Amino acid sequence: MENSIWIFSTEMFLAESLLKHVREGNLTESSFKKTVWPAIVAELNAKYAAELSKPITALQAKDKEVIVSLLIQVNTKYLEVM
């Protein structure tokens, strides 16, 4: 099965959505609550349906979360140095 192609706006949406859920207390000690991923993916696919070649799955979003999380950590550390 071919993956959907991520675009900058979908990556930003994912990062903003994850941060929103963290602020709302939807992050447990080890992961997000079960309701988070279906909600994020449904909203993302609805919002970017015209730009996406295929809908993004929850598994693809979770894989992308690792990359987005690393970018957030790097940017946060960079901003602390400045």
Residue 27's domain spans which residues? 8-81
Q: Is residue 47 part of a domain?
A: yes
Q: Is residue 19 part of a domain?
A: yes
Q: Is residue 44 part of a domain?
A: yes
Q: Is residue 1 part of a domain?
A: no
Domain count, the chain: 1
Q: Is residue 43 part of a domain?
A: yes
Q: Is residue 30 part of a domain?
A: yes
Q: Is residue 3 part of a domain?
A: no
Q: Is residue 2 part of a domain?
A: no
- The average pLDDT across 19-46 equals 90
User: C-alpha distances in angstroms, 30 versus 26, 33, 80?
Assistant: 11, 9, 25
pLDDT in tens, 50-73: 998 899 998 888 888 777 666 656
User: Model-level pTM?
Assistant: 0.74
Q: Are 61 and 14 in contact (CB under 8 A)?
A: yes
